[in-house]
Structure 1
Amino acid sequence: MTVEECEEPKRRSRQKRVGDALRRDTRNRLLEAAEEEFAARGYTRATVTRIASAADVSVQTLYLAWGSKRALLRAYMEKSLTGSATSPEDAISRFVGMPPRERLAELADLVAEIAERAATGWRLYRDAAAVDPEIAADWDELQLLRHRLFTRVLDDIPVTALADGLTPKAAIDTAWTIASPDSYDLLVHRLGYEPGEFRDWMQNTLTAAILAPRTGTDTPA
């Protein structure tokens, strides 16, 4: 085997790494441009032409990188939900072994943190779902995913800790409803709650709706 033949796999490997890096950069620039376009104009009035132009690529490159405007919206929503600090599994693991009241306080913290970051994305998705059947299906999937996450957080709270007559399933459904994106939109965007006020409202409302009142013999959780 010649020297040139030995070097060929290395050259191809370097080219692949460079190509992969360029593709990631293009996808990231398009996603950032889409975020600005969606936030400024909403999903329906956003155009792939403006998104591509803002990212300094062609419309064809946008479609090669993402496939559709809908895919960009989904990626924007997922980025807003997950953030950069922790994975969904890490977020769930922090609740393991927590007493019920402490768990609901921690859940209020998580909901407030995600809502502040993802509020625009939720609103975009909700509005787009009204005019696009495929986004409507995505919206339903995201809502069910949120329900499954609440189930994992709350399903092992002892029945004896729940409000009188409340079943574990009803407790999960109640928390899922109270801690909805609509609650954040109504209280923060329409009534002017500060993020900290929203977080406190969330903790107090979840606790009152889900847990049995403390008795004189209870120890703080």
Structure 2
Amino acid sequence: MRRDTRNRLLEAAEGEFTAHGYPRTTVTRIAASAGVSVQTLYLAWGSKRELLRGYLESALAGDAASPEDAITRFTGLSPRERLVELADLVGEIAERAATGWRLYRDASAVDPDIAADWDELQLLRHRLIARVFEDIPATALADGLTPKAAVDTAWTIASPDSHDLLVRRLGYAPGEFRDWMARTLTAAVLAPDSGADTTM
């Protein structure tokens, strides 16, 4: 199946999912919006669920070739710089993927397969944050905080729900959200005297 057909279907799915939500969106409407037959949709993507997954993965990836590529952004940064960079990365991803996150979360309540996908995506997010933290020495962490607890704390703060609450519900601008996340991550995870000039 040609790449442009798959991409047209992704664009159509994004519009339909955003307008109608996952449960009320039909493959017939997606196919019509993309200008293809329902059979072509199934040949290209297999199912409505796979289209939703493809849409979210595309939004999450952006220009990166793979999620692992994002880790290179943290090379040589001090603990504080790493958390500021993490806040920037989460903000960038959220601007692309906020709608996909919300659709996936809502669809997981009605589709057990999507719920399993959503759980896996959250665990993947946890693993990537653990990679960001793996070179931060325990001595740089807040008093009494273990490396595992630091990762768990950052995973919770840097979550799709935080973006949804602050940006969609309270009207934070993207820059305000990033500033909040950088401040909150630093205060929650790092010792007060962990200097920004200690590179990894």
TM-score in same-fold range (> 0.5): yes
Q: Is the 8 A contact 1:31 1:75 kept in 2?
A: yes
Q: Map of 1:10-159 to 2, 5 A cutoff?
A: 23-85=2-64, 87-159=66-138
Offset from partner CA, 1:96-129 (integer Å, 9 cap, x none): 2211001101101001110111000000000000
Give the aligned residue type for 1:119. A
Q: Which amino acid in 1 is paired with 2:115?
A: A
- Cα distance in 2 for partners of 1:151, 1:202 equals 17
What secondary structure sits across from 1:94 in the alignment?
helix
Distance in 1 separating the partners of 2:25 and 2:62: 23
Partner of 1:193: 172
Q: Calculate percent identity across the aligned residue pairs.
A: 78
Q: Aligned equivalents of 2:27 and 2:11: distance in 1?
A: 13
Q: Distance in 1 between matches of 2:186 and 2:60?
A: 24
Say whether the 8 Å CA contact 2:12–2:34 is kept in structure 1.
yes
SS at structure 1 position matched to 2:110 = coil
- For residues 196 and 112 of structure 2, what CA distance do their matches in structure 1 show? 50
Superposed CA deviations along residues 46-81 of structure 1, whole A, max 9, x for unmatched, are: 110110001111111111111000000000000010
How many equivalent pairs are there?
A: 198
Q: Give the TM-score normalised by the residue count of structure 2.
A: 0.95
Look at both structures and tell me which one has the larger radius of gyration over its CA atoms: 1
User: Which one has more relative contact order, counting CA pairs under 8 Å at least 6 apart?
Assistant: 2
Q: Which runs of 5+ in 1 are unaligned?
A: 1-19
Q: Distance in 1 between matches of 2:157 and 2:165?
A: 12
